[in-house]
Amino acid sequence: MKRMELREGTMLTLIAITFRICFRFGLFVLAFPLLAHASLPLSSNVPGGVAIIPLGSVSSGSETPQTWLGDQPVLVTSDHELWYAVVGLPLDMTPGLHELRVKIGGVTKTQGFEVNTKHYPEQHITLEDTSKVELSAEDEARADRELAVITELKHHWRVAQDTDLALIIPVKGRLAGRFGVHRFFNGEPRSPHAGLDVAVARGTPVKASAQGQVLAVDDYFFNGRTIFVDHGNGLITMYCHLERIDVKTGEAVSKGQRIGLSGKTGRATGPHLHWSVVLNGAMVDPELFIPAKHRRR
């Protein structure tokens, strides 16, 4: 019994010494990201995908690297003692060689990466309400104003100590519209589908995909009642066509918290949730952020 008590006392003393050393030299700040960051999303170097670019090893005393794609900051995270840039690739990105600007310490360099070609399928949708396809001058002006606001929201950047990259699907249901498909409304070509459509009954609770802060809520011409949640470091999720919004701008939300109810507001053929993921200003495939065991094909 005395020998066991001695071992326990020695262990507690070692733990206390370790805590004092870490506190004195600030090692907790450096080690925290290694413990807190979630798993990386699935790598997919195609337009609308996510490029995972290694930046080197995490070492004591080293600062978190800073990266940019053009002028837009890019999320950097650590995984298994390595730094990675997690780069959102816009749907209209030209395939070929691209460069990421990387700053580590006081040194700035460029790092090349390849973007491959991907052909997305077509989707033809018939809308009985033709006013959502052939816009009046007033509606077109409104849609243009809202597009400018949404574009600014997509490029929002908030520095966060940690960003949870393992997202959950906001609702459980049939995937009715996949990411990236080329859409035709009443035979007229429109922008590619920049999210996932989940078919659910009207009034189904919609949950936040990860912890974050409500960036904006509004009622848009095309998207209907919409919530933007900022998860930090350029990762933003968007929830559209809601029947009801249960959160306010600036409110902190937790992962899995109900933020609203599904509906069919805006341009929608039926009740469903349109869920988008934005990374460094680019709309990317949400399924890349869903852990493999929860991914549905």
Express each pLDDT in 71-103 by its tens digit.
999 999 999 889 999 999 999 999 999 999 999
Quick one: 144 and 105 in the same domain? Answer: no
Whether residue 44 is predicted with pLDDT greater than 50 in this model: the reply is yes
CA angle 74, 79, 85 (to 5 degrees): 20
Q: How many domains does the chain have?
A: 3
For residues 150 and 265, state if they share a domain: yes
Average pLDDT of the residues in 6-32: 37
> Cα(208)–Cα(255) distance, rounded to whole angstroms?
5
Residues 146 and 276 grouped into a single domain: yes
Based on the fold, state whether residues 98 and 183 are members of the same structural domain: no
Helix axes 27-36, 2-25, angle to 10 degrees: 100
pTM above 0.85, yes or no: no
Residue 28 structural domain: 2-35
Are 141 and 287 within one domain? yes
Determine how many CB atoms are found less than 10 A away from the CB of residue 205.
15
177 and 93 in a single domain? The answer is no
Residue 166 per-residue DSSP state: -
Task: List, in order, residues 6 or more apart from 192 with CB less than 8 Å away.
Answer: 48, 91, 120, 180, 181, 182, 183
Last residue of a domain, one of 115, 138, 163: 115
